Structure formats: C-alpha cells, structure tokens
Amino acid sequence: MGDKISKEWKIDRQKCIKCGGCVSVCPFQALDLNKDELIRDKSKCTFCGICEKVCPVKAIKVHKS
C-alpha cells in the first residue's frame, strides 16, 4: 500500500504585494497576476515551491507531505 502525498498551496492575500516575482519565476506558467489578485492554474502547478522561495513578503506557502 502506497502512502498518499498531500499537496497544498496557499496565498495570504493580505500579505501579497502583487510584485509579480512569483509569476516571472514559475517554470510551469501556473501563476498569473491581474490587477486584483494572484491566480494559480491548478492544472499547471506542480507544487515545486519556487514561487514560495522568491516571495519577498512570504505570502505563499507550498506544502507537500
């Protein structure tokens, strides 16, 4: 029996300053920024965590277990 991998991606919209850094580094083009919010394309996101690492205000949390 294999263990199920739990994946979670969260954005704290109160912290997000909409700088676009996460959008520019995503290798899967899973993030987009419009004037109101950061949008993640769930079909493209692989939970790699690069966006979390570049966020200057720590607004993104990626968790895999």
Which domains are present in the chain? 7-64 (3.30.70.20)
pLDDT in tens, 25-54: 999 999 999 988 899 999 999 999 999 999
pLDDT in tens, 13-28: 999 999 999 999 999 9
- Asked whether the predicted pLDDT for residue 4 surpasses 60, the reply is yes
- Asked whether the predicted pLDDT for residue 1 surpasses 70, the reply is no
pLDDT for the residue numbered 2: 56
pTM for the model stands at: 0.85
Classify 56 in phi/psi space as left (phi over 0), alpha (psi -120 to 50) or beta: alpha
